[in-house]
Amino acid sequence: MECVVWLPAKMLHACRKARTLPAAVLVILFPPLLIPTSKHFINNRLIIIQQWLIRLILKQTMATHNTKGQTWSLMLTSLIIFIASTNLLGLLPYSFTPTAQLSMNLAMAIPLWASTVAMGLRFKAKTTLTHLLPQGTPTPLIPMLIIIETISLFIQPLALAVRLTANITAGHLLMHLIGSSALAMLAINLPLTLITLAILTLLTILETAIALIQAYVFTLLVSLYLHDNS
């Protein structure tokens, strides 16, 4: 079943072809609305708390980078805030989580990983290529190890995407199954239902932590790849 949103005819007067927009586009564009921007020096409490959080994230992620790496501050901060907010919103009942889709995570991981590799090859090609051979490798093992390191390099974007997808999808699936079983057992066995609901509560707390941790891990790994190549 395709979920679409009908746009007002006036907005699409110039474009006569498509009159629908996938609802997923609106869901992906929704989290930035929760983070208001302000041109004032002194803001309201919500914006002050959010700006404090963003400054904390910025300091933690960008402290170890050189000047070239720090030009990516905007990208990495936006990345972690987007993934964290999307994951947390996905914990609400009946919501859609874009980061549970492999296509979405591959679309984030491949450009970021490829750009770090391209940056490394462009600005320090020799150092990037020497990363394919760990120091102190015995001579007979060199060809095999280069192949292994190349494979591990190409697996990085897949690992980034699949890690996030699997964690979020598995968590949601588990919550869905345990919630359904609790509902089914409500009329049959009340004590077991209460135990299941307690497990569900603990699982929800765990999923909240996983939502934040996975956002941090994704951004940290991209930051690590950037650090190796900048």
Given 112, 168, 211, 222, the residue binding another protein (CB under 8 A): 112
Q: Which stretch binds another protein (CB under 8 A): 10-18, 20-28, 129-137, 186-194?
A: 10-18
Measured from the CB of residue 162, what is the shortest distance to another protein in angstroms? Answer: 15
Beta strand segments in 24-121, E: none
Binding to another protein (CB under 8 A) within 55-84 occurs at 71-72, 74-75
Phi, psi of 95 (to 5 degrees): -100, 165
State yes or no: residue 10 binds another protein (CB under 8 A).
Answer: yes
Q: What angle do CA 120, 128, 154 make, to 5 degrees?
A: 85
Beta strand segments in the chain, E: 4-6, 20-22
Cβ contact 218:83 at 8 Å: yes
Measured from the CB of residue 48, what is the shortest distance to another protein in angstroms? Answer: 22
Measured from the CB of residue 217, what is the shortest distance to another protein in angstroms? Answer: 20
Measured from the CB of residue 120, what is the shortest distance to another protein in angstroms? Answer: 9
Contacts of 1 (CB under 8 A, 6+ apart): none
State yes or no: residue 15 binds another protein (CB under 8 A).
Answer: no
Torsion of CA 168, 169, 175, 180, to 10 degrees: 160
Residues that bind another protein (CB under 8 A): 10, 13-14, 71-72, 74-75, 106-107, 110-116, 118-119, 122
